[in-house]
């Protein structure tokens, strides 16, 4: 007898042959609790979500959701952690420890 496998639509199994289900790559988010609704103060310019989260300290806010105020080619990304003081502190420490690639003005660290 055939049993249904968890998280698989049974008809796909019974039609003969396992149909590979499309696997969605996991969305990259920091481990902060998700916010229920879109907070416009958390909208910042960036190429994508990962780009914004790396560059919170220099990202341009776009509270209106309008990418036209963003630098060329950037989008207005919602739900960034860029207003979270704990995240910003962590980001500053991270950039200070590994030296961000943009830090050309200060080549001799230490």
Residue 26 has pLDDT above 70, yes or no: no
In this structure, what token pair is assigned to residue 70?
A: 């963003």
The helix, strand and coil proportions of the chain, stated in percent and rounded to the nearest 5, come to 30, 5, 65
Each residue of 28-74: pLDDT tens digit?
Answer: 544 444 445 678 999 999 999 999 999 999 999 999 999 999 999 99
Could you tell me the pTM of the whole model?
Answer: 0.55
Nearest 5°: phi and psi at 37? Answer: -120, 160
Q: What is the mean pLDDT of the chain?
A: 75
């Amino acid at each position: 007898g055939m049993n249904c496998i968890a998280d698989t639509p049974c008809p796909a199994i019974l039609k003969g042959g396992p149909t590979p289900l499309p696997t969605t790559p996991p969305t990259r988010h920091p481990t902060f609790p998700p916010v229920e609704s879109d907070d416009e103060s958390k909208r910042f310019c960036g190429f994508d979500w990962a780009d914004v989260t790396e560059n919170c300290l220099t990202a341009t806010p776009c509270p209106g959701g309008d990418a036209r105020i963003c630098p060329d080619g950037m989008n207005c990304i919602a739900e960034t952690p860029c207003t979270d003081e704990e995240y910003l502190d962590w980001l500053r420490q991270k950039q200070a420890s590994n030296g961000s690639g943009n830090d050309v003005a200060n080549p001799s660290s230490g």
